[in-house]
Amino acid sequence: MHPDTSFNLSERVALVTGATGGIGGAIARKLIAQGARVALASRSAERLSAQVEALRAEGLAPLTTLAYDLDDPDAIAAALKGFANTYKRLDILVNAGGIMQDAPLGMISAEAIDRTLQVNVAATIHHMQYAARLMARHGSGSIINLTSIIGVVGGANQTLYAASKAAVIGATKSAARELAPKHIRVNAIAPGFIDTAMTAHYKDVVRTRVIAGIGMGRPGTPDEVANAALFLASDLSGYITGQVLGVDGGMQV
């Protein structure tokens, strides 16, 4: 019996934003381990350097690193144009970069609205634009956007974050329809409560309440989200597009 090579991403070129975060880092690691040539993108050159060292210590080597701020459209354009000129192709895009600023509805500042929508929504769209052009040259590709269960069902004191992640779902579904004839798949992953730096600030009482609403009774891990990304990046999901895959352990909000 021949081994299943459906997860083999050998020679495929991938770009992962938010690659120094818990989820983005886990996804990058998983893709590299399966043979993909992965570019790591983050706003912090220092954190990227540390990420590269950590990966190399595990015997994994990223393709390159790109340091730019998702809040800066010009920086995104410069980075992605440079990437395209150097590597000429892109097979997998993972939009894992994002921010979460919880606040009661009446306390959301104009600055928070602008930055959250720029980082979580506009940057996702900018990256999809550039990715689609590169992928269209080779007639295939997989775009994976990170949304959230909060973007599906909402959350108290999370109106802004929920709005941004709901927008990512709408963008995912629309891009999937547009790009399907070019054999470019676009899907989203909606994590629930995942143990990362983004959720580390939750007070014990809040954390206990959230976990009580999870059917499986525990937080998820970045690796569990990364497994979903690997599936969507691989040939095993070759006929799947326009979908939102929940990775939430049966979470109720």
The set of catalytic residues is: 161
* Nearest Cα residue to 38 out of 190, 242, 233, 225: 233
Q: 147 phi and psi, to 5 degrees?
A: -110, -140
Specify the amino acid at residue 48: L
> 121, 99 in Cβ contact below 8 A?
no
Angstrom distance (rounded) from CA 76 to CA 100? 20
Structure tokens at 234: 């691989």
Angstrom distance (rounded) from CA 67 to CA 75? 9
Cβ-based neighbour number of residue 61 at 10 Å: 11
Compute the half-sphere exposure of residue 43: CA atoms within 13 Å on the CB side of its CA. Answer: 12
Tokens 């192709």, residue located: 89
Angstrom distance (rounded) from CA 114 to CA 102? 14
